[in-house]
Amino acid sequence: MKINDIYPGQQGLGKTDTKANKAGATKFDDLLRNEMQSLTQSEKTEPTAQVSPVPNQTPAGLRTEGLTMSESTIDTLDSFSAALADPRFSARDLEPYAAALEDDTAALIEMKKQLPIDDPLAALLDRVATISYLEAAKFRRGDYTA
């Protein structure tokens, strides 16, 4: 007689009931076959939707100009922020930054008007224009001079 070590979780593994296994195997085989058939039938009956990219109707030059303009405005905002943090700058020294932000805001709005409403670049231009307008308006209102 051969004795094997029994580890936790192995109890009852050596017992076999051929009638139960055959019945269970048949049921599993039938279940698997039915599922495979239903998958192949659904693939045949349900056509897959073809997704085609929406052609971008915005000229590449306009997109490049819009991105360049928004990057320039963000750079101006960064410079304005650094100048505000530097106590050596007076209100008179900060005036050119506010004027540049106002000019950039107007240019960004004009650029946005040339783009379709649902264009992602239009949303970006709108956000950058809003921020630059707010910062220039805060300066003009006196929020940054104390």
Which of the pair, 46 or 114, is modelled with greater confidence? 114
Supply the pLDDT for residue 93: 92
Question: What does the pLDDT read at residue 129?
Answer: 96
Per-residue pLDDT reduced to its tens digit, 46-101? 555 554 454 557 788 889 999 999 999 999 999 999 999 999 999 899 999 999 99
Q: With a threshold of 0.85, does the pTM exceed it? A: no
Going from N- to C-terminal start, the domains of the chain cover: 60-141
Beta carbons within 10 angstroms of residue 37's beta carbon: 10
Helices 91-113, 60-85: crossing angle, 10 deg rounding: 160
d(CA 67, CA 75): 12
**Per-residue pLDDT tens digits for 4-58:** 766 666 665 555 555 555 555 568 788 878 888 887 776 555 555 554 454 557 7
Checking if the pLDDT of 145 tops 50, the result is yes
Q: What phi and psi values does residue 87 have, to the nearest 5 degrees? A: -70, -15
